Amino acid sequence: MRHIVILNRVPSSLGEFTTSHRRQIVDALLAIAILCFTVPTTLMGLTFSLWGPIPDWIEIIIEVITVGSLLIRRRTALPMIIASVACGVATGQIVPMAFAAYSMTAENKVRHWQLVSIPLIAAATAIDYVDPGTDNFLYLCLVRALTLIYLPALVGTWVRGYRGMILELRAGMRERERQAARMERRKIARELHDTVTHAVTVMVLNAGIIHDSADPKVDRLATTIEDKGIEALGELRDLLRVLRREDEPRTAAAARNIPGLVKEAATTGTQINLDYGLPDVGLPNQVGHACYRVVQEGLSNVRKHALGSRVQVSCQARDGVVTVSVVNSRGGGRAGMSLHRLLPRSGFGLAGLEERITLLSGQLERGPTPDGGFMLRARIPFDLGSARPRGESADEVAGGEKQ
């Protein structure tokens, strides 16, 4: 098939990583960095302990425990604080204490972080004071300890405030978007009520006037027009409710209404072959309604552009994916063209169908067939666990019968 347009919402490689995944990656890299900083120092004999010499294997165990506590710093800060102090006392390395001070404020896991900073500063001062590689001036050791402990903790508070501000801005933006969408829906509802509903009502009334015609054929056509007009009015009322309340319409057609839709289209002279294999129970309502709209749009386009052609409608569900297709052969020529000229062309049918399928994470294919016909196919993933049998709701059953 040629010139097939495919619309598929595929997340990018960066978009698939959630915030939690990115945080786990950052914590893992940070743990590896600290491990590479502490263990080689121990192996080269550059460490010291406040309690005198201790075996290297004990130091390495303490350092590994400290790195492991860093991986859970976002859930609780106490293990990392204790482990970093123990690591500093046993090995003389106070870098893990600086990360512990930052984490306890950035993740907001310690309420009174100023009080917790005092023993950390005291431990860092003592370690720096007895370090054989530094001076023995106590005030300089205290200044360095304040710089390495209090400053990271203070930076953590700034980071926490910045994150909170970003979350508030995003929440406010989403709320403004919801309000704008709500106002737009109400505007559309008013326009539908003032224009479309009025026009359909006039059509129904006119069909009722010619209902009792002496010509049986005219009478049947008038009855069909009247029934369809009444059905359209019901759907418009439900649509107005949806636009105002953001609910699903009760009369939303399900996949089980597809055979009736095909039978109705066959009465107009279209040769249709239906291959229906969708489950009656377990298919999510939105997915079933989307399948119905695909078949409805496909048959509508056949009536407009290829009246008299042969049509193959297929509906199958395999491996968690529903595939619905409407394929027609070359049109019947003059009849199709005359109907095409008679009916107004909106151009919104396939565009709206693409949007509906995309919202369900599906894909829509459309394009000409080798024999000169046209193909419309939709693939929609679904989850049986999230579906509810439509028979459980009396309102939904009533809505399905109306269709």
For 114-164, the pLDDT digits (tens) are 888 888 888 888 888 888 777 778 888 888 888 888 888 888 889 888 888
Alpha-carbon gap, residue 29 to 71, rounded angstroms: 10
Count of Cβ atoms closer than 10 Å to residue 271 Cβ: 13
Closest CA to 325 of 369, 388, 387: 369
> Is residue 396 scored above 60 in pLDDT?
no
Mean pLDDT, the chain, rounded, equals 76
| Integer angstrom CA distances of residue 64 from 19, 37, 39, 386, 400 | 26, 11, 8, 44, 63
pLDDT tens digits for range 299-308: 888 877 777 7
pLDDT value for 209: 67
> Is residue 168 scored above 60 in pLDDT?
yes
Superfamily, domain 255-402: Histidine kinase-like ATPase, C-terminal domain (3.30.565.10)
- pLDDT-wise least confident of 104-108, 179-183, 213-217: 213-217
> Is residue 243 scored above 90 in pLDDT?
no
